[in-house]
Amino acid sequence: MTRVLGIETSCDETAAAVVTRNADGRPQILASIVLSQIEEHAAFGGVVPEIAARAHVEALDGVIEAALRKAGLTLKEMDAIAATAGPGLIGGLIVGLTTARAIAAATGKALIPVNHLEGHALTPRLTDGLPFPYLLLLVSGGHTQIVHVAGIGHYQRWASTIDDALGEAFDKTAKLLGLPYPGGPNVEKAAQGGDPRRFAFPRPLRGEARPDFSFSGLKTAVRRAASELAPLSPKDVSDICASFQKAVTETLADRVARSLERFRTLHPSDSEPALVVAGGVAANGAIRAALEELCTDKGFRLVAAPLELCGDNAAMIAWAGLERLEAGIVEDAASFAPRPRWP
């Protein structure tokens, strides 16, 4: 029975979690605490790195204590301490990794630096026990990628965005329309009841052979529509959001289809190939529905993380640490420095 404490501080959530693999082999989340800094950043319409770092310093110890209390365990009962070491905002990464290093040193436990993206990538193994290989669609505020996941540490990027990340497109669209931060959930809410056919927004790269994504043209089109109509009525906002979301889902389906075909060619004997969708944007209902339809069409199974594990959390970091520990693939933690960029 392995137990790992995970720490996540790469962006605007301060999170700690305890994850274990039970004697019967089943993963279990014993505690997962996520403290969002939304209120601290809302007035600025986005994450302010300096405020984020300060908030992590103030909150992290309490969040770790709360996670251990919830799990009914002490630091001594952990096998390792895993912390996000990148990619992300440097201030937060330093806070999380330094705290983890101090705890590891004081308790004599192993320190495992974890790549935030690996955390998202391995989440379906924590929640569904999904076997390798599978295809991952990672859609968050900073990343839009399709990754072929063959095993722990065996990741191959098949596609990425050539400009904005999808979450970024949602956030910028929200800002243009005067919707509050964070943009994604508010755009989704505003889209409900809106007319998705009122605006003919572009479907960037649609039909092209390359598997990549592009979203900046979509944002530009939203800006144009919004400025032509200004001042916007609630109905205008709702119609723009619905039209934007429709363009996003159609674009995603077209782009992702390329990689599903490639996966199928690479693994012809996989009778139930899986597409995993992870990252904050995976919480979007319209996107999930579009991917579900695409997967049914292509003979894939869609595996989506439960809502509370789509956004940033420490359970995924603890889990990635646990998988690394079990596989014996651990970075040299002693000299490991935080990496703001870590593909």
Phi, psi of 11, rounded to the nearest 5 degrees: -135, -115
CB-CB contact of 166 with 281 (8 Å): yes
| Binding-site string for ligand KG4 from residue 298 to residue 317, where x marks contact by CB under 6 A and - marks none | -------------xx-----
Tell which positions 118-157 bind Zn ion, by CB under 5 A: 140
Check the annotation: does 153 bind a ligand: no
CA separation for the pair 316, 320 (Å, rounded):
6
CB of 282 to ligand KG4, least distance (A): 8
Residue 116 labeled ligand binder: yes
161 binds ligand KG4 (CB under 6 A): no
Q: Check the annotation: does 142 bind a ligand.
A: yes
Question: Closest approach of Cβ 45 to ligand KG4, in Å?
Answer: 12
- Are 124 and 134 spatial neighbours (Cβ–Cβ below 8 Å)? yes
The DSSP symbol for 130 reads P
Consecutive H or E run containing 35:
strand 27-36
Out of Zn ion, ligand KG4, none, what residue 284 binds, judged by CB under 5 to 8 A for its kind, is: ligand KG4
153 φ/ψ sector (left φ>0, alpha ψ -120 to 50, else beta):
left
Q: Are 186 and 268 in contact (CB under 8 A)?
A: no
Interacting span for ligand KG4 (CB under 6 A) from 19-27, 57-65, 68-76, 177-185: 177-185
Q: Which is nearer to Zn ion, 88 or 273 (CB)?
A: 88
Query: What DSSP designation does 272 have?
Result: S
Q: Minimal distance in Å, beta carbon 8 to Zn ion?
A: 9
Binding test (CB under 5 A) with Zn ion, winner from 186, 312, 315, 316: 312
Regarding 182 and contact with ligand KG4 (CB under 6 A), the answer is yes
Give Cα 7 distance to the centre of its chain.
15
Pairing of β 2-8 and β 110-115:
unpaired
Q: Residues marked as binding? A: 116, 120, 138-142, 171, 184, 188, 284, 312
Contact residues: ligand KG4, CB under 6 A: 11, 140-142, 167, 170-171, 182-185, 188, 279-281, 283-284, 311-312
